């Protein structure tokens, strides 16, 4: 039988332990980086399709400032290096995909109605005219006007953040999600 004094000692200790556990769980759930939602993944292995297509993947993008094009190119190069043990990939920014060939399509700050499927079906990417605080990227690995993988990321940076670094992080997270690579911060 537990005495009243023992209970008085145990309850505050138990409360402190529970508060500590709750604080740790809340902090573990906080992520300062972008969240990328995978909207679709076909049963076909995208890397196998890339291999069958000869390893060259044209990249179509629109409304992406030149400086971010360089950042996206660097992230794709990093992904290609990370995938080298599974397949050789070369990303080609010079040819414009026709919608039939395998291609990576990236929309930066797209209109709200634009989906990854419409990207793959050849919709004009365009750019949202509305001012936004958030960064939105829709990307899809497409073939024959169908999605092999489609992701969407919406991220709201803090007011004190380096905007270009935030854009770079979103692009990095999107690329790594498309190619099923681990994402581990900057």
Q: Is the pLDDT of residue 90 over 50?
A: yes
Identify the band that residue 141 occupies on the pLDDT scale cut at 50, 70 and 90.
very high
| Range with the poorest average pLDDT among 11-25, 35-49, 119-133 | 11-25
Residue with tokens 């291609």: 103
pTM here?
0.73
The candidate with the shortest Cα–Cα distance to 58, out of 36, 89, 87, is 89
Q: Is the pLDDT of residue 75 over 80?
A: yes
Torsion of CA 40, 42, 43, 46, to 10 degrees: -120
């Amino acid at each position: 039988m537990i005495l009243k004094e023992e209970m008085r000692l145990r309850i505050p200790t138990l409360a402190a332990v529970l508060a500590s556990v709750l604080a740790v769980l809340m902090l573990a759930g906080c992520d300062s980086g972008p969240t990328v939602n995978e909207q679709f993944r076909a049963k076909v292995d995208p890397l196998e399709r890339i291999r069958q297509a000869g390893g060259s993947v044209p990249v179509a993008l629109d409304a992406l400032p030149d400086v971010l094009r360089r950042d996206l190119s660097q992230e794709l190069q990093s992904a290609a290096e990370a995938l080298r043990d599974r397949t050789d990939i070369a990303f080609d920014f010079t040819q414009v995909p026709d919608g039939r060939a395998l291609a990576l399509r990236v929309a930066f700050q797209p209109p709200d109605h634009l989906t990854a499927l419409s990207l793959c079906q050849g919709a004009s990417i365009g750019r949202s005219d509305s001012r936004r605080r958030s960064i939105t990227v829709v990307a899809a690995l497409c073939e024959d006007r169908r999605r092999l993988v489609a992701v969407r990321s919406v991220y709201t940076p803090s007011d004190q953040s380096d905007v270009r670094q935030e854009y770079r992080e979103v692009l990095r997270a999107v690329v790594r999600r498309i190619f099923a690579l681990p994402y581990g911060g900057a």
